Amino acid sequence: MTPPRPAELYARALEERSIFVRREDGGRRSVPIDTWLAPPTAADRRVLDRAVGPVLDVGCGPGRHALALARREVAAVGVDIAPAAIRRARDRGARVLLASVFDPLPGAGQWQTALLLDGNIGIGGRPVPLLGRVRSLLAPGGRILCELGRPGSATRCELIALEDAEGVRSTWFAWARVSVDGLPPMAERARLEIDEIWESGSRWFAQLSSASEGRGLTLNRRCRTAPPPPVPEWPATTAAVAASAPRSSPPRPRRPAARTAARSARSLPS
């Protein structure tokens, strides 16, 4: 029998809340679906404090970070390749796109912040091209907020599969793990500076930004505080991409509330 695609098991897991990651070496761990469906933790909220809108949440899953940002009136869009995750995120009220981060995306070069949280620096199994791709989506002076493995943990690319409680396993796909120690050479190759690395609630995070010409890698540089330039209105193109995702409930309004737009004085890139 042909193994199911990861997206099929992921869709079931969002309903049944039980799914595992199987590694090539035979190891297995459970996927924290409940965490993805729960409100952000204190550590998440502290990372989100650094997010300047408009924010692109890469690999948003069911949308907890994009949603939390919207509730703070920070313009945010999630992007994910899993239709079921996008449906769930939209049902919860998050603004999302069904697409891969490597697809053409609206607002390239205009996002002030990109999130790569909860292991998403591993998307695609090649962190340097991923970081380079995400950098290319950022506005000048934009930042990436990413989550890392603790110091001393492995930095490696691996093949993984999703597996349900009955042992039904998906096709294998590439993923990467990047520890705090593994980040600097990758950031340098992706032409990113590490602004800061911090621990929060036993999790590790970094803030990265585009390296300026002629400047080497720096650690623990203070975060910039200059306000970002205004960006164009929430676009028809983004709405069109969002509309292409299958829906399980009526679509939510995609334009930011007038109050939100007025308060943030900023909207989403086209």
Q: Is 81 in the site for ligand SAM (CB under 6 A)?
A: yes
Tokens 């705090």 locate to: 180
* Options 4, 54, 61, 256; binder of ligand SAM; rule CB under 6 A: 61
59 binds ligand SAM per the rule CB under 6 A = yes
How far, in Å, are 73, 76, 86, 226, 267 from residue 262 at the CA level?
Answer: 10, 15, 27, 19, 9
100 near ligand SAM (CB under 6 A): yes
Site membership for ligand SAM, residue 113 (CB under 6 A): no
Q: Kindly state the smallest distance separating residue 236's Cβ from ligand SAM, in Å.
A: 22
Q: Least separation, in Å, of the C-beta of 214 and ligand SAM?
A: 32
127 binds ligand SAM (CB under 6 A): no
**Closest distance to ligand SAM from the beta carbon of 23 (Å):** 15
Q: Minimal distance in Å, beta carbon 46 to ligand SAM? A: 15
Residue from 70, 77, 80, 182 touching ligand SAM (CB under 6 A): that is 80
Interacting residues with ligand SAM (CB under 6 A)? 36, 58-61, 64, 79-82, 85, 100-102, 117-120, 123-124
